[in-house]
Amino acid sequence: MSKSMWGGRFTKTTDAMMEEFNSSISFDKRMYREDIAGSMAHAAMLARCGILTDAEAATIRQGLQDILADIEAGNFSFEVSLEDIHMNIEKRLTERIGAVGGKLHTARSRNDQVAVDTHMYVRREIGEIAKLLEDLQKAFVEAAQNNLQVIMPGYTHLQRAQPILFSHHMMAYFFMLARDFERLQGVQRRTDILPLGAGALAGTTFPIDRHYVAEQLGFAQVYQNSLDAVSDRDYILEFLSFASILMVHLSRISEEIILWSSAEFAFIELDDAHCTGSSIMPQKKNPDMAELVRGKSGRVIGHLMAMLTTVKGLPLAYNKDLQEDKEGLFDAIDTIKFSLAVYAAMIRGLRVRQEKMEQAVRHDFSHATDMADYLVKKGLPFRQAHEVVGKTVRYCIEQEKWLMDLSIAEFQQFSPLFEADILEAIKVETCVENRNSFGGTSPAQVKLAMEAAAETIRKQQSFLDMYTKNDI
């Protein structure tokens, strides 16, 4: 008998180089828990349907439990010649319990077996990622709460635009991540479908009960088409899309963290624990964690592009190309989990330099829009008000003054509508306070945003509780 589980058809053993190239055990071994759980459920179903005896199913179950213990104790040798996690476990099972181990593969194929393993693995990791994502959301809320009244410049085109609350800026990232959480929930729904029982592509001649297996493994649905079941990688594409968008968001945060921590901005100081120094320049404190996350965003986006390219031309059903779905997926999972954990710690550890932020916003023209609004409220059409303020700003630049430095007489050079209350109207605090439209930067709106955030987290928690309750 050939060493391989499929060797009956062949007269030659597989070339060693071909064996290594064909093998996936170096990376798919991380799915051993899922593979064993799927096999246990499959064996129980075969017994329920009278395809195995209860005694055979019990023997298989015990054998699989022993293998699980061996793997977790580090006493299991994975063999490249056996290609993948499925055949490594089946071979060891047969060696341990004898010929009955060979009955486990009745009414299934590696095609639907790898599909269920991957579905279960992604589903489990979604729960871990969701916890980390929510923790980062909480870190942003904490940063907002701890710096509720701090005023900073808001930017467009990286030019100072209008004054905003730092807490408002932090909450922007909270809601950005909340949409990421919603996307992750969508991935979970479309991952929570059982492919096992589809066989190689066409179903099976045995009287199996796929819905029983779904119940045993906690799946909400069963694939309704066997071809779709073994060839679907939509959920992986969707996960990688979610992961890419999330990493883009973290990259945008990184860019701001890097800028804000520079001497040119000096808006924040990162904790020493989250920075590195230079081997040659003793004064350096580098925001390496933020830079690495920014760099890793390209890595995750690359995995999405690779997967899209892999599946775009594949005919139904299973093709070996689909073995390429895992390495990028696993790396993306590892990358975003690490990035989320690092970021939560970094946000909680950063110190806001309030005096620097407020100094910046008091020495610019970011309250010019409020000055225009003041004139509009006095009856001047906005376009005319815009021109008046533009000329006033130009005058200030020429005179090396700021708007708050001007006298009432100077203001009235540009419009008789300016009165003594103009200085109060364009105070930075007034500018922020008055932006009280829904979603604006006023303290009142930030308070409402934080209340909404608390409700969002409460709803998200019910999703996380599902994982705990169902032991996914």
Catalytic residue ranges: 157, 278
C-alpha dist (Å) from residue 261 to 34, 219, 250, 349, 418: 44, 46, 16, 13, 39
Residues in CB range of 363: below 8 A, 6 or more apart: 402
Residue 190: both structure tokens together: 């479309």
3-state SS class at 286: strand
Nearest partner of 107 among 50, 68, 59, judged by Cα: 50
Mark residue 67 as left, alpha or beta (left: phi above 0; alpha: psi -120 to 50; beta: remaining): alpha
Query: Do residues 65 and 54 touch, judged by C-beta distance below 8 A?
Result: no
Q: How many CB atoms lie within 10 A of CB 419?
A: 13
Residue 54 sits at the vertex; the CA angle it makes with 50 and 55, to the nearest 5 degrees, is 135
DSSP state string for 306-369 = HHHHHHTTPPSS--GGGGGHHHHHHHHHHHHHHHHHHHHHHHHH-EE-HHHHHHHHHSSSTTHH
Burial degree of 302 (CB within 10 A; 0-12, 13-18, 19+)? middle
